[in-house]
Each structure stands twice: as C-alpha cells, then as structure tokens.
Amino acid sequence: MSDINSYLLAPFGVHYYNSSVGRLALGGMADSKQLAATTGFFTTANAAIFIPFRVMTPTRINKMFLVNGTNVAGNIDLGIYTDDGIRLTSNGGTAQSGPNTVQILSMSTARRVHPGQYYYMAVACSSSSAGIVVEAGTPAVALLQMMGMARVTSAYPLPATVTLAVQATDRQVIHFGFISEEA
C-alpha cells in the first residue's frame, strides 16, 4: 500500500492539490491518466456535480475555482457540502467569465473543514453551453460511481441541503476545487 501520509502532504499554493482531481479527491484515479484534460461543456443545465474529498489538516475554505473552457455562458456556482448533503458554504452564483482561464469565486462565508470525515465539493451551471475543462476519455458513469461521485438535478444555485443521488448521467470529471487562505 502507498504511504498515505507522505503522499498526501500538501504543496502550498498549488491549486491542483485541492482540486477535484487532486490527491485528496479523485487523485488516485486521475493521476494514472496524467491529467489528460480537454475542454467540454457542462452536460446538464442546473444540475450539480458532487466530488468527495478529505483534508489532512483543518483547512479554511474562502474561495473556490473553476477552470473555464473555450466558451463561457450562463452562471456558475461552487460550494462545499458535508457528507450528508448540508451546504457549508457557496458562492451563490456568478456569471461565468473568462474563457480558458481559472475563474475564482469568493465564498459567502469562509468555513473550515477538518480531518476525520469527507466532504463534497460541488459545481453547478445554469447553462449547458458553459465551457469547462474535464478529464479526457469520457469515463463510464459506473467508474464515476465507483470513485464516489454524486449528482443532484435542479440544483442551481446550490441549495442549502440536497439529497445526494447516483451519478448516472454526466460522464465528466470537471476540473474545479477550493482555495485555502487564512484570514
């Protein structure tokens, strides 16, 4: 087995570490593919995609980011949820802007997450024309289920509570994540 603790040590200031494809989220799977990213579109307008992650140390989350694709459209929302679907914080919704850039959104409230449980980072878009960056290869939804992803329909802007459901539709691993800055 891998040396979990040394492998997961955080390189400070690197967005990748705290992203959906970072080592604390889906990293084990994504690392094998050498992060073969490609641009795409958010599959289902107003749906929300949930990607599980954990932290090694108490971590203050005050911003999140989405890697925009070659096209921007509609509004995006990013947030953090507990494992049982309670929203800890979110942006609330912002127009997507800046093609081919990392768009950073401030959270409505900075919240601290802790070791000992897992959380979800969530992304929702109001438009299926919103350009995003995803893992290449169009993975089967069964693989996404095996990795622990979840999905909620009609979840833009991200609601206060959600009933997490099977990711049975969107064959995407979207590149987004959170930023930790101490106050």
Q: Please tell me what DSSP assigns to residue 161.
A: B
| Shortest CB 148 distance to other proteins, Å | 4
Indicate if the alpha-carbon torsion angle 125, 131, 135, 138 is positive or negative: positive
Residue 85 tokens read as 């679907």
CA pair distance 28, 26, nearest whole angstrom: 6
Cα Rg for the chain, rounded, in angstroms? 15
By CB under 8 A, the count of residues binding other proteins is 35
Question: Binding pattern to other proteins, positions 143-182, x when CB under 8 A?
Answer: x-xxxx-x-------------xxx----------------
22 binds other proteins (CB under 8 A): no
CA pair distance 83, 94, nearest whole angstrom: 25
116 binds other proteins (CB under 8 A): yes
Footprint on this chain of other proteins (rule: CB under 8 A): 1-2, 4-5, 7-8, 23, 25, 27-29, 31-32, 52-54, 56-58, 83, 115-118, 140, 142-143, 145-148, 150, 164-166
